[in-house]
Every structure is written in structure tokens, then in C-alpha cells.
Amino acid sequence: MSDSDLERVAAAMVAKGKGILAADESNSTAGKRFDKFGIAKTEENRRAYRELLFTTPDAPQWISGVILYDETIRQKTAAGVPFPDYLTKLGIIPGIKVDLGAKPLALHANETITEGLDGLRERLEEYYRLGARFAKWRAVIDIGTDIPSRGAIEANAHALARYAALCQEQNIVPIVEPEVLMDGAHTIERCEQVTDATLNEVFIQLHRARLHLEGMILKPNMVISGKKCPTQATPEQVAAATVRCLKRHVPGAVPGIAFLSGGQSPAEAALHLSLMNRGTTLPWQLSFSYGRALQDAALSAWAGKSANVAAGQKEFRKWARLNALARNGSFQAGMEQQAA
Ligand code: 13P
């Protein structure tokens, strides 16, 4: 393992003016997204859709890395080039989702533990050979009556730390993703309390696992009102609470923080990131690693039809560019109306 390789890749993942595309939906999640547009849930349709995204003109200007799924990392462009090779040639770093999903946590009703540690070392070795230079593991913390429990937070933080250490051992940069869900009716204050407790435990566990913090990326939720909360915090409040919470927990040694979008609309996700990057100088890069916020418009424009590939690419290009503007605070509300 080389710390300097890990640091170089981590820094490139959060390079100024760029962010990460999360295109690592499992086949079942991709299927749910396809269902909305009546797109057949076939391997070829998933391949064609990922090819649309990866071959979008100008995307390498704004996209530093792409998170792939196990099926996707083994797929090829129509011209026969394996996706990881295609991306690497464009200067986009291929990454891979390695967790096996959130499963019910025993004796903890309505809480989950993310699985996938058994055999992970061998899977990472293979993914490295296939071209992956970073990985992702998502832990899920839900807010509700009497949850999250201390036990669920600790178990998930511990699994994240074991995953992250295995990644670094295999020369792969871990994206550490503890996602506090925005589903539910909770207030922004409750989200801040739970995010605070979660990040605190995550960094305790990472320290205990001897993680090289300079060679990782944190992928957190923003501190935000629950979707069903009757009083929604303003974008300025979301930005201020998120930065306050991160400053309390994320050591300056971590090179970058790349948010998930988590169910925010594309315009909200871009605005929140932009506002956070408009404030005072921060110790880390604040970037994006969005799935839905980068893809929703593209998937809708494509709708599974080869005649719509250019229209889908136009939407992906637009949202990649707008979020790249948010990286230095220059995305403004309403810009998406004019942007081509
Ligand atoms: P969203 O941006 O759609 O939340 O997806 C990001 C991701 O990778 C979730 O694990």
C-alpha cells in the first residue's frame, strides 16, 4: 500500500471545478428508476443508459470520477471498450460500489446494517485489476420514533471503518458514506443531532481502524429538513447547518467531502452546494457525488429510446456543468432555466 498513491487519487476525485457521478445503482434500484418511464429492465438497457452518460460530450471537464456497479464495471461501450478503460482514457477515475446493501439489523426494528465485508479483500483485488481506483460503501441511518439507536450507529460506523481499511490495504481510496435519510417528518434540528452523532462515531471508528485520513473521501448527507416536515429550512439554513456540523467532526486531514443528493431536487442540490462554497475558506474541498440530482433529467429525456440519446446527454451535460459551477459558489437559483 502506498499512502501517496491514495492521496493522489483522493485529491483528483475532489479536484476544483469537478465532482463525481454516482452511476452505481444496483440492478433493482436501476429497475425502479426505469419503471417510472416504462423502460424495459434489461442488462442491455442498463448498459446503453450508462454508455449515454459516459460518452456525453464535455463531461470530463466537470466529472472527476464515476462510481460503477458490479455489472457495469464488466460492461463495454457499443464499440467494445470496457467502461473502466473508456473512462480512464478520458481522465475520469473509475470507482466501484462494494457494499451488498442495507439489511435488517437483528433485534433493531426498522434499522439496517450494511453487509458485504466477507470476501471483500478478494473482491477489491479483482476490482483493482478491472481498473477501479476508488470504492464506495453506503451505511443508512433512518430517523423516526426511537430511532436511530446507539447500536445501529455503532454497528454501521464499525462496518464502514472495516471496509475503508480493506480498501486502503488494496490501494483503493474509500468513499465513506454514512447517509442519514431525509425521508420522514423530522426537523432540520433533528437531522443535525443525528448527523452529529453519526459522524462522531464514524471518525472514532476510522481512527481505531488506523485509516489514513488523507486517502479517503467522506460522502455525507446534507443537514436538511425531513421531506415531510411541515416547516422546511431555507437553503441558507441548510448550508449553514451542514457546514457547522461538518466542521465539528471532519478533520482537516480529509481532502474532500462529496455530498449525496439523497432525494433533493437537482436545483436544490446544486444551490445548497453552491451556498456552502460561497462562505469562508474551509479545510476540505466541498464537492458532489450525486446520483439522482445529476441523472434525473437525463433519464427522463432518454426514456429508453435510442433516438433520444442526444437529448439525454444534453441534460446530463447541463447538470454536470451547473454542479461544477456550484463547486466555487457560482451557481445561482434559477440558472437551470436558461442553461443549455
Ligand atoms: P443520490 O445522489 O441519488 O442520493 O445517490 C448518491 C449515492 O451514491 C447513494 O448511495
Query: Terminus-to-terminus CA distance in the chain, angstroms?
Result: 44
Identify the residue whose C-alpha is closest to ligand 1 atom 10.
138
Q: Which of 192, 219, 315, 318 is catalytic?
A: 219
234 grid coordinates? 431555507
Residue 179 scores a pLDDT above 80: yes
* 136 counts as catalytic: no
Cα of 289 to ligand 1 centre, how many Å? 7
Q: How far lies 89's CA from each of 14, 71, 86, 256, in Å?
A: 18, 20, 5, 24
Whether 144 contacts 110, CB under 8 Å: yes
Whether 167 contacts 128, CB under 8 Å: no
Percent of the chain with pLDDT over 90: 98
Ligand 1: which of 176, 292, 316 to mutate, most ligand atoms within 8 Å of CB? 292
Q: pLDDT band for position 97 (50/70/90)?
A: very high
Q: pLDDT per residue over 148-160, tens digit each? A: 999 999 999 999 9
* 177 counts as catalytic: yes
What angle separates helix 43-54 from helix 309-326, to the nearest 10 degrees? 50
Residue 340: its pLDDT value, please?
A: 63
Ligand 1: which of 260, 268, 295 to mutate, most ligand atoms within 8 Å of CB? 260
Q: Which residues contact 276 (CB under 8 A, 6 or more apart)?
A: 239, 242, 243, 286
Q: pLDDT per residue over 281-317, tens digit each? A: 999 999 999 999 999 999 999 999 999 999 999 999 9
Q: Is the whole model's pTM more than 0.95, yes or no?
A: yes
Q: pLDDT per residue over 25-62, tens digit each? A: 999 999 999 999 999 999 999 999 999 999 999 999 99
Q: pLDDT per residue over 130-148, tens digit each? A: 999 999 999 999 999 999 9
180 grid coordinates? 442519514
